[in-house]
Amino acid sequence: MVSVSADKVMVCSGRMKAFFVNLFLVFLVSSLVAKEEGMEDTRYTNYVITEKGVGSFGVSKNLPTNLSEKDFLEHYFCGYIGDGIPVEGLSLFDGQIRVFMKSGPFQRKARSEAVEPKCASFAPRAFREAKKGVKVSMISVLGAIARTDKGIAVGATLKALKEAYPDIAVHPVPPTMGHDECVATSKSLPNVRFFFESCKEAQEEATIVRIDVVTTK
């Protein structure tokens, strides 16, 4: 399982712009929007986190092949996580949702040699590969923009998580990105990981810092 936090991935993307509605249309994410009208409020809309993905983005599913080059290049990121694991993908909604590509040009090159994550040089090729079909390996939710069907989002406490999922299990894990040394999982919501800074702090009402949906394939 690969996990990532916002402060450890070097992101090569511009600021999210107000006309992000164009990306919505390209990604066919109307199913994510509570109201099709009022698109100016979409950044405040809560999307659904399931064991299969977030909204219309699914783990082990291809990125949409009809994504425009402009939108892809604007939201592409690359970098290293954990002990130098290379990653790349798309950073959406001001970084609140990150969609990780299972493979890409930066990852391949970084696995064979030390390479600086100059994302602009890898983005065009990553786009061409995505157009041909690239699967999503993981989706990270880093803000309150998305929640599970039982209302759990980033910022929820462990108490609220246990009330929503009584079978929740909490385990310490090695720090991968920092601020994520504790993970909570539930058999009733497989493939979903809820991260806290530490299990001690989780017991003291610290809140979820990140939610990952991972692929097991």
Q: Which domain holds residue 155?
A: 146-214
Query: Are 172 and 108 in a shared domain?
Result: no
CA distances from 45 to 33, 97, 150, 169 (A): 7, 13, 16, 29
Does 90 fall in a domain? Answer: yes
69 in a structural domain: yes
Rounded Cα distance, 148 and 47, in Å: 8
Residue where a domain stops, chosen among 87, 112, 139: 139
Q: What is the total count of domains within the chain?
A: 2
- Please tell me the distance from the alpha carbon of residue 146 to that of residue 154, in angstroms, as a whole number: 8
Residue 207, amino acid: T
Domain boundary among 124, 139, 154: 139
Q: Looking at the structure, tell me whether residues 26 and 132 fall in a common domain.
A: yes
In a domain, 3, yes or no: no
- pTM above 0.85? no
Closest CA relative to residue 78, chosen from 31, 28, 45, 127: 127
pLDDT tens across the length of the chain (217 residues): 444 444 444 444 444 333 333 443 344 333 333 333 332 334 445 799 999 999 889 999 999 888 899 999 999 999 999 889 999 999 999 999 999 999 999 999 999 999 999 999 999 999 999 999 999 999 999 999 999 999 999 999 999 999 999 999 999 998 887 789 999 999 999 999 999 999 999 999 999 999 999 986 6
- Quote the CA–CA distance of 54 and 119 in Å, as a whole number: 25
